[in-house]
Homo-oligomer: A and B are copies of this chain.
Amino acid sequence: MKTINVGLLGLGNIGTGTYKVLEMNRKQIESNAGVSIKITRILEKDVNRKRDITVSPDLFTQNPDDIFLDPSIDIVIELLGGIEPASSFMLRAMGNGKHVVTANKAAIAANFDAFMEAAKRNRVMFRFEASVGGGIPILNALTTALLANEYDEILGIVNGTTNYILTQMTEYGLDYEDVLKTAQEKGFAEADHTADVEGHDVANKLSILISLVFGVRVPPQEIPTAGITRITKEDIRLADQFGYKIKLLATARRIANQLECHVQPAFVPKDHPLASVNNEFNAIFVTGNAVDNLMFYGKGAGPLPTGSAVMGDVIEIAKAIAKGAAFDHYPEKAVKMLRYVGEGQNKYYVNMMVKDVPGVLGSISTTFGAYGIGIDSVLQLSRDLTENREVPLVFILHEVTRARLDEALDKIRSSKFASEIKSVIRVM
């Protein structure tokens, strides 16, 4: 059996998980790939870290060129994380004729075109299944079995930390800060959780999905992004009353030749399949013009699920090498070039505190009307009257741009009726 040699960049959690998947399923993997797969070199400083795998100390190096310049190495797996030096390393690997597999969403979202060009120019394969949805084979499905579709929309719950926090807030009626603390204690949230809770991790993943699904590059920093830090248990309770659950959603949709996208918490109808995706699970919901609605559900993180996706990519490349066809076809630029227009129009939930005086509902409704904003539902409960005679007034509003909504809310805020706009959340 032919042997495929692999160089591994990084033996942290995900690197260790990948190594473990190869070791525990080696017979199965090699029988399926039709070749023997051997990790022959590992770039890693921390040689002595306690890992529950046995790695020969000879494999470790601190010089990346020991991998890039080794002609016996066929595939480089990059699991360092972060944009640099990971991006430069991957480009250098491809420049030296290595196929590259990575789980690094930040690097791909930042340098998508450069990686694609390098893969094409060097006639090597570049794969990144693990970068979106962890173990869920969503990128493979979108780029192979579903290729006969024009995609209309993609919706994703693609961050396990925030989904865990929102699920716990919902199930136990807790506030954000309390759940975050527990999540950190249980290892579901990192000490530095900004990228998760502010939505930046999701924006990286959405940028990758948009590149593959719509053939348009929208860098993550251009995607309107909001996180979950301002969601309150009151928002979650009110969402429940209106028939929704709150999820942090990545959304991209094609409307004629325009592309809209955004990352933000959203009210998801309880009977939508995404509403039942709880805790650390992820799901990606896709609509194609032939296949209709599809959903892919699974573990979006963790060493073994991520290792499953990384090794799946390695097997695909190994099979292609064995067939003498380890290169990709790159389609011409998208047939219909979509124009990226920002977040577009959305329905919104607005929760405000108003004076409990006659005429308040009429005045605020009239203001929304004057800005062309329709009202879907209203909730005002006098039982919630505060001691300074204010009550919460909650609206679900019809489709409107966020800019237009903000104008109307400024007008309402400056009136004598409203004392505070407490929350504005998108409704799916």
Q: Which of A51-59, A68-76, A133-141 contacts B (4 or more CB under 8 A)?
A: A133-141
Flag if A25 contacts B298 (CB, 8 Å).
no
Flag if B296 contacts A296 (CB, 8 Å).
yes
Selected from B273, B290, B335, the residue in CB contact (under 8 A) with A308 is: B290
Flag if B302 contacts A292 (CB, 8 Å).
yes
Cβ contacts under 8 Å, A322 to chain B: 329
Which residue of B is nearest A31, CB measured? B331
| Chain A 128-150: CB-based contact to B (< 8 A → 1; otherwise 0) | 01000001110011001111111
Flag if A293 contacts B289 (CB, 8 Å).
no
Flag if A292 contacts B288 (CB, 8 Å).
no
Task: Tell whether A304 is near chain B: CB-to-CB under 8 Å.
Answer: yes
Cβ contacts under 8 Å, A312 to chain B: 144-148
Cβ contacts under 8 Å, A149 to chain B: 25, 28, 308
Rounded to whole angstroms, the CA-CA distance of A302 and B141 in the bound complex is 20
Rounded to whole angstroms, the CA-CA distance of A305 and B146 in the bound complex is 10
Q: From residue A35, how far is it (CB to closest CB) to chain B in Å?
A: 9
Q: Could you say how many copies of this chain the assembly holds? A: 2
Rounded to whole angstroms, the CA-CA distance of A322 and B328 in the bound complex is 11
Selected from B141, B148, B295, the residue in CB contact (under 8 A) with A311 is: B148
| Chain A 315-331: CB-based contact to B (< 8 A → 1; otherwise 0) | 11001101111010101
Given A27-B335, A148-B25, are A292 and B276 neighbors across the interface (CB < 8 Å)? no
Given A308-B148, A308-B288, are A294 and B28 neighbors across the interface (CB < 8 Å)? no
Q: From residue A158, how far is it (CB to closest CB) to chain B in Å?
A: 15
Rounded to whole angstroms, the CA-CA distance of A129 and B291 in the bound complex is 13
Given A299-B291, A304-B290, are A148 and B21 neighbors across the interface (CB < 8 Å)? yes
Selected from B129, B293, B308, the residue in CB contact (under 8 A) with A299 is: B293
Task: Tell whether A155 is near chain B: CB-to-CB under 8 Å.
Answer: no
Flag if B147 contacts A144 (CB, 8 Å).
no
Cβ contacts under 8 Å, A299 to chain B: 291-294
Flag if A295 contacts B298 (CB, 8 Å).
yes
Which residue of B is nearest A303, CB measured? B290
Cβ contacts under 8 Å, A288 to chain B: 308
Task: Tell whether A266 is near chain B: CB-to-CB under 8 Å.
Answer: no
Task: Tell whether A10 is near chain B: CB-to-CB under 8 Å.
Answer: no
Give chain A's interface secondary structure class. Answer: mixed
| Chain A 22-38: CB-based contact to B (< 8 A → 1; otherwise 0) | 10110111011110000
Selected from B29, B150, B323, B327, the residue in CB contact (under 8 A) with A329 is: B323
Cβ contacts under 8 Å, A21 to chain B: 148, 290
Cβ contacts under 8 Å, A273 to chain B: 276, 297
Which residue of B is nearest A323, CB measured? B325
Which residue of B is nearest A275, CB measured? B276
Flag if B293 contacts A146 (CB, 8 Å).
no
Rounded to whole angstroms, the CA-CA distance of A141 and B319 in the bound complex is 15
Rounded to whole angstroms, the CA-CA distance of A143 and B4 in the bound complex is 20
Flag if A329 contacts B34 (CB, 8 Å).
yes
Q: From residue A257, how far is it (CB to closest CB) to chain B in Å?
A: 14
Task: Tell whether A93 is near chain B: CB-to-CB under 8 Å.
Answer: no
Task: Tell whether A332 is near chain B: CB-to-CB under 8 Å.
Answer: yes
Task: Tell whether A307 is near chain B: CB-to-CB under 8 Å.
Answer: yes
Task: Tell whether A118 is near chain B: CB-to-CB under 8 Å.
Answer: no
Cβ contacts under 8 Å, A150 to chain B: 24-25, 28
Task: Tell whether A427 is near chain B: CB-to-CB under 8 Å.
Answer: no
| Chain A 279-291: CB-based contact to B (< 8 A → 1; otherwise 0) | 0000000001111
Cβ contacts under 8 Å, A308 to chain B: 146, 148-149, 288, 290-291
Task: Tell whether A309 is near chain B: CB-to-CB under 8 Å.
Answer: yes
Which residue of B is nearest A35, CB measured? B329
Give 21 pairs: A residue, B residue, CB < 8 Å, sorted on A: A22-B148, A25-B289, A28-B150, A31-B332, A34-B331, A136-B294, A137-B141, A140-B141, A140-B144, A145-B309, A145-B316, A146-B308, A148-B308, A148-B312, A273-B276, A291-B304, A292-B298, A292-B304, A294-B296, A294-B297, A295-B298
- Nearest 4 Cβ contacts at the A-B interface: A137-B145, A148-B311, A325-B325, A290-B308
